Structure 1
Amino acid sequence: MSMNDIKKPDILTESGTNELEIIEFHLHKTLPSGGYKVCHYGINVAKVREVIRVPDTEDYPNAQSHMIGVFSLRDNLIPLVDLASWLGIPTCEDLTQKIVIVTDFNKMINGFLVDSVLSIHRVSWEHVESPSQFLESGEQDCVVAVVRRDDYLIMILDFERIISDINPELSMDKYDVTQDKNVIIDDSMLAKRQAKTIMVVDDSAFIRKMIEKTLQSSGYNILDAKDGQDALEILEDFVRLAEEEGGTVTHFVDAIVSDVEMPRMDGLHLLKRLRDSSYYAKTPIVMFSSLMSEGNRLKALQLGANDTITKPEIGRMVAMVDGLVLEDK
Structure 2
Amino acid sequence: MSSLSQEKQAILLESGTNELEIIEFQLRKQMPDGQEKIAHYGINVAKVREIIKVPETTEYPNAHPSVVGIFNLRDRLIPLVDLAHWLKIPVHDDLQSKRVIVTEFNKMFNGFLVDSVSRIYRISWENVESPSQFLESRESDCVVAVVRMENRLIMILDFEKIIADINPEQSMERYDVSLDKRILQDEAMVSRRQAKTLLVVDDSAFIRKLIETTLRTAGYNVLAAQDGAEAYDILMEFEQTAKSEHQPISELVSLLISDVEMPRMDGMHLVKRLRERDAYADLPILMFSSIMSEENRRKALAIGANDTITKPEIGRLVELADKFIFGH
> Match for residue 319 of structure 1?
319
Counterpart of 1:302, as a letter, is A
Matching of residues 104-119 of structure 1 within 5 Å: 104-119=104-119
Distance change in 2, residues 1:7/1:119 (3 Å): farther
> Match for residue 264 of structure 1?
264
Distance change in 2, residues 1:21/1:134 (3 Å): farther
Kept after mapping to 1: 8 A contact 2:135/2:141: no
Q: Secondary structure at the match of 2:121?
A: strand
**How far apart are the structure 2 equivalents of 1:12 and 1:5?**
13
Please state how far the C-alpha of 1:283 moved relative to its aligned partner: 0.3
Counterpart of 1:250, as a letter, is S
When normalised by structure 2's length, the TM-score is 0.97
Distance change in 2, residues 1:256/1:139 (3 Å): farther
> Match for residue 194 of structure 1?
194
**How far apart are the structure 2 equivalents of 1:5 and 1:214?**
36
> Match for residue 43 of structure 2?
43
Distance change in 2, residues 1:25/1:242 (3 Å): same
Deviations along 1:190-236, whole A, 9 cap, x unmatched?
01111111100000000011111111111100000000000000000
Q: Secondary structure at the match of 1:3?
A: coil
> Match for residue 185 of structure 2?
185
Please state how far the C-alpha of 1:3 moved relative to its aligned partner: 3.3
> Match for residue 252 of structure 1?
252
Please state how far the C-alpha of 1:8 moved relative to its aligned partner: 3.0
Q: Give the CA RMSD over aligned residues.
A: 1.5
> Match for residue 62 of structure 1?
62
Deviations along 1:20-40, whole A, 9 cap, x unmatched?
000000000001111211100
Deviations along 1:125-144, whole A, 9 cap, x unmatched?
01100012774444532000
When normalised by structure 1's length, the TM-score is 0.97
Deviations along 1:115-159, whole A, 9 cap, x unmatched?
000000000001100012774444532000000000100000000
Counterpart of 1:183, as a letter, is I
Please state how far the C-alpha of 1:249 moved relative to its aligned partner: 1.9
Kept after mapping to 2: 8 A contact 1:140/1:206: no
Please state how far the C-alpha of 1:11 moved relative to its aligned partner: 1.9
**How far apart are the structure 1 equivalents of 2:263 and 2:172?**
22
Deviations along 1:216-266, whole A, 9 cap, x unmatched?
111100000000000000000111111222222222110000000000000
**How far apart are the structure 1 equivalents of 2:135 and 2:211?**
23
Q: Secondary structure at the match of 2:312?
A: helix
Counterpart of 1:164, as a letter, is A
Kept after mapping to 1: 8 A contact 2:4/2:48: no
> Match for residue 151 of structure 2?
151
The alignment status of 1:100 with 2:105, answered yes or no, reads no
Kept after mapping to 2: 8 A contact 1:15/1:268: yes
Counterpart of 1:200, as a letter, is V
Kept after mapping to 2: 8 A contact 1:194/1:221: yes
**How far apart are the structure 1 equivalents of 2:244 and 2:217?**
33
**How far apart are the structure 2 equivalents of 1:23 and 1:5?**
14
Aligned residues between the structures: 328
Please state how far the C-alpha of 1:2 moved relative to its aligned partner: 3.4
Counterpart of 2:238, as a letter, is F
Q: Secondary structure at the match of 1:9?
A: helix
The alignment status of 1:126 with 2:126, answered yes or no, reads yes
Distance change in 2, residues 1:20/1:188 (3 Å): same
Matching of residues 149-298 of structure 1 within 5 Å: 149-298=149-298
**How far apart are the structure 1 equivalents of 2:197 and 2:58?**
49
Distance change in 2, residues 1:319/1:150 (3 Å): same
Q: Secondary structure at the match of 1:131?
A: coil
Q: Secondary structure at the match of 1:312?
A: coil
**How far apart are the structure 1 equivalents of 2:60 and 2:52?**
21
**How far apart are the structure 2 equivalents of 1:239 and 1:103?**
40
Counterpart of 2:265, as a letter, is M
Counterpart of 2:70, as a letter, is V
- Which sections of structure 1, spanning at least 5 residues, go unmatched? none
Q: Secondary structure at the match of 2:278?
A: coil
Kept after mapping to 1: 8 A contact 2:136/2:205: no
